[in-house]
Chain A
Amino acid sequence: MAEVRNLATTIFSFLPEAEGRYMVLTGLGIVITVALMAIFAPLIAPYDPIKSSGDVLQPPSAKHLMGTDNLGRDVFSRILFGSRVVLAVVFSASIISMIIGVPLGLISGYFGGKLDRVLSILMDSMYAFPGLILAIAIAAVLGPSVFNAVVAISVVYVPTYFRMIRGQTLSLKSLLFVEAARAIGATDWRIMRKYIFPNLIPTLVVVFSLSVADAILTEAGLSFLGFIVSAPTPDWGFELASGRPYLPAGYWWMITFPGLMVMLLSLGFALVGEGLSEIYAPRRER
Chain B
Amino acid sequence: MLKVEGLKKYYPVQKSSIEVLLTKRRDFVRAVDGVTFDVQKGEVLSLVGESGCGKTTTGRILVGLETPTDGRIYFKDKEVTSMEKDELRRLRRHIQMVFQDPYASLNPRMKIGEHLEDSLAVHGIAEGEEAKEMAMAMLDRVGLPGEQFYNRMPYQLSGGQRQRVAIARAMILKPEFVVADEPVSMIDVSLRAAILDLLMSFREEYDLSMIFITHDLSVARLVGDRIAVMYLGKIVEIGETRKVIHNPRHPYTAALLSSVPSFMKRRKRVEIIGDIANPIDIPPGCRYHPRCPFARDVCRKDEPELEGDRHLFACHFPLELTF
Contacts and interface: CB of A to CB of B under 8 A. Distances in A.
**Are A and B part of the same complex?**
yes
A136 to B, nearest CB: 40
A187 B89 contact: yes
Contacts of A181: 107, 118
Given A183-B64, A183-B92, 6 more contacts: A175-B104, A184-B118, A186-B118, A186-B122, A199-B107, A199-B108
14 contacts: A176-B101, A177-B105, A180-B105, A181-B118, A183-B63, A183-B96, A183-B97, A183-B99, A184-B119, A184-B122, A185-B90, A185-B92, A187-B89, A195-B110
B110 A176 contact: no
Contact of A177 (B63, B64, B92, B106): B106
A16 B194 CA distance: 48
B123 interface: yes
A182 B104 CA distance: 14
Contacts, number: 62
Contact of A184 (B101, B104, B108, B170): B170
Q: Size class of B's contact patch?
A: 20 to 34
A19 to B, nearest CB: 21
Interface in A137-193: 175-177, 179-187, 190
Nearest to B63: A183
Q: Size class of A's contact patch?
A: 10 to 19
B173 interface: yes
A54 interface: no
A232 interface: no
B65 A195 contact: no
Nearest to A183: B97
Interface in A178-214: 179-187, 190, 194-195, 198-199, 201
Contacts of B118: 181, 184, 186, 190, 194
Nearest to A186: B122
B99 A176 contact: yes
A180 B123 contact: no
Interface of A: 175-177, 179-187, 190, 194-195, 198-199, 201
A180 B166 contact: yes
Interface of B: 63-65, 89-90, 92-93, 96-97, 99, 101, 104-110, 118-119, 122-123, 166, 169-170, 173
Contacts of A180: 97, 99, 105-106, 166, 169
A252 to B, nearest CB: 51
Which of A184, A187, A194: most chain B Cβ within 10 A? A184
B106 A184 contact: no
Contacts of A198: 107, 109-110
A175 B90 CA distance: 23
A223 B77 CA distance: 71
Contact of B122 (A179, A187, A199, A201): A187
Nearest to B86: A187
A248 to B, nearest CB: 57
B65 A179 contact: yes
B122 A190 contact: yes
Contact of B107 (A183, A187, A194): A194
B93 A185 contact: yes
B99 to A, nearest CB: 6
A180 B93 CA distance: 13
B107 A176 contact: no
Contacts of B90: 185
Closest 9 CB pairs of A and B: A185-B92, A176-B104, A198-B109, A183-B97, A180-B105, A177-B107, A176-B105, A184-B119, A185-B89
A154 B101 CA distance: 42
Contacts of A187: 89, 122
Nearest to B116: A184
B110 A184 contact: no
Contacts of A177: 104-108
